[in-house]
Amino acid sequence: CAQAARRAQGEAARPARALRLGVHRFRPRVFDAFAGYDRHHAMRDIGAGLTVGIVALPLAMAFAIASGLKPEQGLITAIIAGFLISALGGSNVQIGGPAGAFIVIVYGIVERYGLTNLLIATASAGVLLFLLGWFRLGALVRYIPVTIIIGFTNGIAVLIALSQLKDLLGLSIAKMPGDFFSQIATLWLHIGSFNPWALGIGLISFAGLALWPRLPGAGAIADRRIEGHTIHALSRLPGPVVVLVSMTLATWYFALPVETIGSRFGGIPRSLPDLALPPFSWDSAKQLLIPTITIALLGAIESLLCARIADNVADDLPRHDPNQELMAQGVANLVSPLFGGMPATGTIARTVTNVRAGGRTPVAGMVHAAALLAIVLVAAPLALYIPLPALAGTLLFVAWNMGEWHEFARLRRFSIQYRTILVGTFLLTVIFDLTVAVEVGLVLACVFFIYRMSTLFRVHPYDAGELPPGVVSFELFGSLFFGAVGKIEALEAQLPPGTRAVVLEMHRLISMDTSGLDALAQLHKALKKRDIALVLANVNEQPLSLLRRSGFAAELGEDAIVPTVAAAFEDEAAAR
């Protein structure tokens, strides 16, 4: 019993020490996943990792090209960052790598600051992400309102689609500008160089990705043999790979006049680049403060949203650890730029593919990175023939799936505040940038929340039965905070002539901040000048604690804080 008691005391003491330090223990989920790990688990993870690796190949290249980078930079990010996120992360199944959400951000940073500064901003964002997780701030990301997330996600989807029109239409544009209106103007000026072959490849790619998952996979149709294979077996192949291979073969065989990876970039190296530190200076770092915060913020939001979706899809597995996940994202984004990589985060499409393919531990994500590395080392020369319109069609499909377009149709069901935040964040993301959109969206959300909470706080006359002459009673309801103090300040003007005491019934006052406390103090001072007593009745724990800690309870007098309204005048009633 004594040993059990000491053990219990030790277990109780450890969380207390961790709470005082305020830091999160670095423990990747892969350590726990190996408990009971056997050959069956290994085969499932290897199969899922190979599947996700094949799916990630075209997406990694497409995201890099759309971001104004070389295709190999997307592959490097998927390999290095993808491996680190799985090996060090706090989720069993999350797959990390380059994501569509970063396209607009990365393109703007490269255009404004250059590639070197993108690498510095990414590494700095990695440090910031690690610190967010280390200091247990992962849960704060969940406090961002869903209206803001929907607004900027839809805005990013529109910008991704707009950025792909150049390759989709085959326009002869050397470099696209970064802002929305300039992009539209540039596309319009070069519309005369439209290439119908490019449009055809892009539309077929989009349609193929949309229709491929809908192929019949069961019943009599699925049993029909097509050259020795069933439709069901074919439909299990990843859609992006089918589109990429088929469009590449068609472009090569028919010698279609469209741009390819080879014609624009000269191919993909068959090895990883050497480790190299980007040139760092404090002057550059100070200029990159906003890009760094943007990358870190978006990476945190995307990764934790993806992890929550993975928890819902794989509901038989332990839920993710948000702080460990942020620390893993931080390490990945710190290391990836050292090899020339772009920002990385959790990716929903590849994570869901991993779960559906049978992945149940971080080993699947590590295998996915190894599979990508093997493909790069072996099959890099084949990438020369990949048509860029096919990648544009793929990204258009990604953008279509990224956006929650049905939310616009549902706007009329919600309040004006909801509509203002969602539509405002969407428009600001499209017209300006993500940082401005999130900042303004958060400010609007705070303003509307304050307004809503202030309307919930009420002060109305309280019927406490028969009270002595000259006594007026009011009931406070809700939360007395800085947005609602005006209703307390207006009480003095509502008092009838001959008032000698004001009783505030506070049983339904759930909380009070220092502004509310100051409003009570000012009311007490104004009443005291008129020789009117102030009595507080039935005060809840939080307001009472604040009253005593601030010294206002002593100033008011402990006899002026009573359990009920009637108790304030028991002595007077007895005397009568």
pLDDT at 567 over 80: no
pLDDT at 151 over 50: yes
Any idea which residue has 């590494």 for tokens?
Answer: 123
Least confident of 7-16, 193-202, 411-420, 448-457: 7-16
What local confidence, expressed as pLDDT, does residue 344 receive? 96
Rounded Cα–Cα distance for residues 111 and 118 (Å): 10
- Quickly list DSSP for 247-289: HHHHHHHHT-S--BHHHHH----SSPPPP-PPP--HHHHHHTH
pLDDT at 258 over 50: yes
More confident residue, 496 or 14: 496
pLDDT at 507 over 70: yes
pLDDT at 518 over 90: yes
Instruction: Say if residues 541 and 530 touch (Cβ distance below 8 Å).
Output: no
- Quickly list DSSP for 320-368: P-HHHHHHHHHHHHHHGGGGT----EE-HHHHHHHHHTT--STHHHHHH
- Reported as a pLDDT band with limits 50, 70 and 90, residue 528 is very high
What local confidence, expressed as pLDDT, does residue 348 receive? 87
pLDDT at 194 over 60: yes
What number of residues does the chain have?
576
What local confidence, expressed as pLDDT, does residue 570 receive? 63
What local confidence, expressed as pLDDT, does residue 222 receive? 34
What local confidence, expressed as pLDDT, does residue 216 receive? 64
pLDDT at 169 over 90: yes
Instruction: Say if residues 479 and 512 touch (Cβ distance below 8 Å).
Output: yes
Environment class of 493 (CB within 10 Å of its CB; exposed 0-12, middle 13-18, buried 19+): exposed
**358-410 pLDDT per residue, tens:** 899 999 999 999 999 998 888 888 888 999 999 999 999 989 988 889 999 89
Least confident of 69-78, 311-320, 418-427: 311-320
Kind plus residue range of the DSSP H or E element containing 437 = helix 434-456
pLDDT at 217 over 60: no
- Reported as a pLDDT band with limits 50, 70 and 90, residue 231 is very low
pLDDT at 552 over 60: yes
**27-52 pLDDT per residue, tens:** 999 998 887 888 888 999 999 999 89
**269-306 pLDDT per residue, tens:** 888 888 888 777 777 777 899 899 999 999 999 999 89
Grouping H, G, I as helix, E, B as strand and the rest as coil, residue 99 is coil
Residues 6+ apart with CB under 8 A from 184: 162
Instruction: Say if residues 347 and 306 touch (Cβ distance below 8 Å).
Output: yes
More confident residue, 279 or 180: 180
- Reported as a pLDDT band with limits 50, 70 and 90, residue 22 is low
Rounded Cα–Cα distance for residues 439 and 118 (Å): 22
Rounded Cα–Cα distance for residues 342 and 344 (Å): 6
Grouping H, G, I as helix, E, B as strand and the rest as coil, residue 559 is helix
What amino acid is encoded at 126 in this protein? G
pLDDT at 576 over 60: no
What local confidence, expressed as pLDDT, does residue 315 receive? 82
Rounded Cα–Cα distance for residues 477 and 538 (Å): 12
More confident residue, 234 or 458: 458
Instruction: Give the mean model confidence (pLDDT) for residues 469-477.
Output: 91
User: DSSP code of 100?
Assistant: G
What local confidence, expressed as pLDDT, does residue 533 receive? 92
Instruction: Give the mean model confidence (pLDDT) for residues 142-148.
Output: 86
What local confidence, expressed as pLDDT, does residue 18 receive? 38
- Reported as a pLDDT band with limits 50, 70 and 90, residue 440 is very high
What local confidence, expressed as pLDDT, does residue 428 receive? 94
The CA-atom distances, in angstroms, between 513 and each of 349, 488, 518, 576 are 44, 13, 9, 39
Environment class of 297 (CB within 10 Å of its CB; exposed 0-12, middle 13-18, buried 19+): buried
Residues 6+ apart with CB under 8 A from 23: 134, 135, 136
SS (H, E, C) 501-552: EEEEEEEEEEEECHHHHHHHHHHHHHHHHCCCEEEEECCCHHHHHHHHHHCH
Over the chain, what is the mean pLDDT?
87
Rounded Cα–Cα distance for residues 471 and 477 (Å): 20
